[in-house]
Amino acid sequence: GAGVSQSPSNKVTEKGKDVELRCDPISGHTALYWYRQSLGQGLEFLIYFQGNSAPDKSGLPSDRFSAERTGGSVSTLTIQRTQQEDSAVYLCASSEMGQGITNTGELFFGEGSRLTVL
């Protein structure tokens, strides 16, 4: 499809296990974001990739969280030794971050990966 694709859509895991969440951005979008949203809460920024620049990891809550983006396209968010407080919806978004004046910076979101840590 033409939109942002995330997988898995739902993941139930046991405390202490590692999980990987995948994001396929819209083709040609150079910027990619990961956000986390707990039930009834706002979006919490996690990490931002822009082209070949070093990612902005300032939102990652602990060193159990890491993300990479291979080839400037697909991204994987990894959570090691999951804890119950990691339970949330993890949203990926991409944006066309060009230099042209037509760039509005609009983010296009995937449907999210709902993580439940038992």
Partner 1 sequence: RKEVEQDPGPFNVPEGATVAFNCTYSNSASQSFFWYRQDCRKEPKLLMSVYSSGNEDGRFTAQLNRASQYISLLIRDSKLSDSATYLCVVNYLTGGFKTIFGAGTRLFVKA
Instruction: Taking the CA atoms of 101, 112, 39 and 82 in sequence, report the sign of the dihedral they define.
Output: negative
Which helix (DSSP H) or strand (DSSP E) does residue 31 occupy? strand 31-37
60 vs 91, which CB is nearer to partner 1?
A: 91
Phi, psi of 98 (to 5 degrees): -90, -175
41 vs 83, which CB is nearer to partner 1?
A: 41
Closest separation in Å from C-beta 112 to partner 1: 6
Q: Contact positions toward partner 1, by CB under 8 A? A: 31, 33, 35, 41-43, 45, 48, 50-51, 53, 56, 91, 95, 97, 104-107, 109-112
Which residues lie closer than 8 Å to 110 by C-beta, 6 or more apart? 3, 4, 5, 6, 23, 24, 91, 92, 93
9 vs 18, which CB is nearer to partner 1?
A: 9
Closest separation in Å from C-beta 93 to partner 1: 8
Closest separation in Å from C-beta 83 to partner 1: 23
